[in-house]
Amino acid sequence: MALSLALISPKICGGIVVRAQAGPVRQRWLDLMKRLAGDDTCITRLPVDAAPQRVFGGLDLVATLRSGHPVSEAGLLSRSNGGIVIASMAERLSSSMAAQIGAVLETGQLIAERDGLQLRSSTRFLLVALDEALEDEPSLPGVLRERMAFTINLDGLRSADLADPALSPADIVKARQRLRDVVLTDEVAEALCAASLALGVD
């Protein structure tokens, strides 16, 4: 359910934190995600050690030398517009990197000054943060976690426990189209907040 909701509206949900060690169970979940997202969805890996220029964009040195004037190069997040970004070992992201990614999730805008260039682009993507932290280890930085609607824990599950999704990629597309016509009234918002408090959801 969390995966379906996140795929329907990455703008609202921001992303999913997946607490699990690397292995067949996590891979099964990722395979289900890819199947539900559909073949047309761009899926990009964000390495934990990726340089800021690679993530947010910067100076394209080759193009700059060729043209004789500064030429910018789009970063990984800009190129992932409309797709999914999978952050491996997300618990190891630096506070600075996590804060910048969180700002992009919140605003849908990537704004940065790098190498004398001012970079600005619109981008919306679903962030899947793979958190491998053990109980006594630091987990995903809070500045990023608070911008992601869902956290799921796969520890203790088997691959067989993860059922095939009830929806299809076509269902996700239809739900996105219908979402545009949904109006959230104050009464509904208050009811949702009351239900969350009653269930102990922060």
Residue-wise pLDDT for 64-97, tens only, equals 778 877 777 788 999 999 999 999 999 999 999 9
Q: Please state the φ and ψ torsions of residue 74, each to the nearest 5 degrees.
A: -65, 145
Q: Is the pLDDT of residue 180 over 90?
A: no
Kindly report the CA angle at 84 between 83 and 88, in degrees rounded to 5?
Answer: 155
Residues in a beta bridge with 104: none
Residues 134-147 pLDDT 10s: 888 889 999 999 99
Q: Which domains are delineated in the chain?
A: 2-199 (3.40.50.300)
Token pair, residue 133, equals: 């932290």
- Could you give the 3-state DSSP secondary structure of residue 122? strand
Q: Report the chain's mean pLDDT, rounded to a whole number.
A: 90
Confidence of residue 15 (pLDDT cuts 50, 70, 90): very high
DSSP string, 26-67: HHHHHHHHHHHH-TTS-EEEE-TT--HHHHH-EE-HHHHHHH
Task: Kindly indicate the confidence band of residue 202, based on its pLDDT and cuts at 50, 70 and 90.
Answer: low
Instruction: Give the residue among 131, 135, 132, 151 at the shortest CA–CA distance from 202.
Output: 151
pLDDT digits (tens, 9 = 90+) for 26-69: 999 999 999 999 999 999 999 999 988 889 887 777 777 788 77
Please check the confidence at residue 119 and state whether its pLDDT lies above 70: yes
**CA–CA gap between residue 174 and residue 69 (Å, rounded):** 45
